[in-house]
Amino acid sequence: MTTDHPAERGGAGRDRFAAFSDGASNVTSSPPFYFLSVFLVLGTFALHFVHVPLSWLISAGDAMASVSLMLLALLKNTERRDTHAVQRKLDAIAATLLEQREGTSHEPAHEPQRAIRLDENQ
């Protein structure tokens, strides 16, 4: 386990997990997923009125809690990487504007171009 920011971690498995969490974020923000979630919640609620065994109710609650925790972790990872990418872009723009204001650089700054493509590399 590491405490590094998700955008600063490296390694071969990093790209696969980033792609997976991006895909999970896209799927979970879609209307069909919302309706599926509502259906599952209503179905779990309906189990209380059907008088199924208590072990079924506990299993349904445990399954919903587990899925909620996994979705929370995936979506938080995506959010942190997106926030980090935006911050890097803003830092590059601020540095370029500062260089232009102070007149310390007469060459075109390449940092904003790298920062703009930063999210494509993640």
CB 77 within 8 A of CB 21: yes
Rounded to 10 degrees, what is the CA torsion of 18, 23, 24, 28? 140
Q: Which amino acid is at 105?
A: S
Average pLDDT, the chain: 78
**Considering only CA atoms, which of 95, 74, 76, 89 is closest in space to residue 120?**
89
**What's the pLDDT score for residue 53?**
92
Given a cut of 80, whether residue 83 has pLDDT beyond it is yes
Reply yes or no on whether the pLDDT at 109 is more than 80: no
pLDDT digits (tens, 9 = 90+) for 12-50: 556 787 788 778 888 888 899 889 889 988 988 888 889
Lowest mean pLDDT among 17-26, 77-86, 88-97, 100-109: 100-109
Specify whether the CB–CB gap between 119 and 22 falls below 8 A. no
